[in-house]
Amino acid sequence: MARYFIGIDVSTTASKALVIDEQGEVITSQSYPHELSTPRPLWSEQDPEEWWRATSQALRDVLKRVSPDEVAAVGLTGQMHGLTALDAQGRPLRPAILWNDQRSGPQCEAITEKVGAKRLYQIIGSILPPGFTAPKLVWMREHEPELYRQIAHVLLPKDYIRYKLSGAYVMDVTEGSGFGAMDIGKRAWSDEMLAALDIPRAWLPELCESTDVSAYVSQAGAEATGLRPGTPIVGGAGDQPAGGVGNGIVSMGQCSLTVGTSGVAYAVSDRYTPEPNGRLHTFCGPIPGTWFHMGVMLSAAGSFRWLHDEILAGRSYDELNQMAASVPYGSLGLLFAPYLTGERHPHTDPLARGAFVGLTLRHSLPHLVRSVMEGVAFGMRDLLELLRGLGVRPAEAVVSGGAANSPIWRQIVADVMGIPLYTVNTSEGGAFGAAILGAVGVGAWPDVPSACAQMVRRVDTIAPEDPGIDSYNRLYPAFRGLYPALKPTFNALVEFES
């Protein structure tokens, strides 16, 4: 009998179910969208029940192509950090507060002062940004005390799906790493952080490794989705580490650059060595006994989508690519600061904002288009430079996400980085990685590197071009000066946002 593995990805935009076979071939996939709510400036929320409805429907659809009896395991991935607060009956108490929600900046400052900045990032592997889960809990305690008192369990988006499938309250260590209450070096909840946060340990799920069998599909989960009762559910990983697996980034020296809604630079480490000033995340890796460094910019391809939707809605993305290709390197001196939803790395600042700098009468829409692509690429270079500061000096990198679909944007990123970029045989990213983790968890492969060696294959390579490298090396220092120059202005504009 054939054996299949399902990867479930609960992203910000949709829930996806992906089926692969033992050779890593994608058999089928289906996804259903989620609505995003932004009820106030800096807020970003979703209804957890919408994740479940979308996931259930996606699973029912893919199981029309393969028999539930042939599904050997389910792996999970999804958007990280989203606070999903449940009552004693496992019901959501409020909409989930997502990874890109910036409301808990004051709580981050208070927690950092209480623990001490250096001690904090030694424990949790980074400075504490508003996107993390723990400060959102503190925000709930201060602003929604009635709801806070009803909390019995706290999960993250993909772990809510695990709960709905099985009834188990479990979280893998990669996701726990982004909570803000783990001792990352020990791969366990930190008693010191929980005491500082005043969060009950009983609220938190058990931790598992990404390749552990963490639960089994219950009768109720089977009835809702079509899966077979008793199907193993493997720990899985957050979207970025799962995407790292899906891109084959499983050993030291490898690096991936994901230019999706957010932008991520990702590299594996065989030891816990956080960035000295906490300006990167260093989290537990999806391979037991490993860690990973991750730099995050909050508005990468999201910036380009904003440009399209709000300014160029009548144009296709192909037209925008043609516009960018018609403009020289540097967009005639026009720079774009890609901080439309605040920023995380290297500037942990929820008040950072986007800006076009250098506009003149010579600039037209094509210059705006290319400058957004270049600004996002420079933001990604900021992340790569932080990795290089830790001794991660990749000779090449995988590129994925929205930029990977645009030849001109791929070339811009390669020129800005100064290294070759390559794509792999699947664009499924996190869902593919989750399915691989599922396969490893039930013994189809002995370990994650072995599975990736067979399932993940290089497709195209984009080499940087000397004129672009030279132009962008000259322009990059000007980009680096944008944030410090504009920070006082960003702060002054806050009172006009309500």
| Residues that are catalytic | 239
Per the CB < 8 A criterion, the answer to whether 345 and 295 are in contact is: yes
Separation CA 401–CA 251 (nearest Å): 21
**Tokens in use for 400?**
């994925």
Separation CA 431–CA 339 (nearest Å): 27
Q: State the CB neighbour count (10 A cutoff) for residue 463.
A: 12
In Å, how far are 138, 180, 199, 212, 308 from 152, measured between CA atoms?
A: 15, 18, 11, 25, 42
DSSP track, 306-334 = HHHHHT-TTS-HHHHHHHHHTS-GGGGG-
**Tokens in use for 480?**
């680096």
**Tokens in use for 450?**
């072995």
Q: State the CB neighbour count (10 A cutoff) for residue 15.
A: 28
Under DSSP, the state recorded for 442 is T
Q: Shortest CA distance to 346 belongs to which of 391, 401, 419, 294? A: 294
Q: Are strands 255-259 and 397-401 parallel, antiparallel or unpaired?
A: parallel
Please report which helix (H) or strand (E) contains residue 304, including its range.
helix 301-310
Q: Please, which residues bridge with residue 294 across strands?
A: 266, 281
In Å, how far are 40, 43, 341, 346, 435 from 103, measured between CA atoms?
A: 9, 6, 11, 19, 34
CA angle 94, 95, 98 (to 5 degrees): 130
Q: Shortest CA distance to 329 belongs to which of 411, 417, 422, 421? A: 411
384 Cα distance to chain centroid = 16
Q: Name, in order, each residue with C-beta under 8 angstroms of 244's C-beta and a sequence gap of 6 or more.
A: 250, 256, 266, 268, 286, 292, 433
Per the CB < 8 A criterion, the answer to whether 279 and 322 are in contact is: no
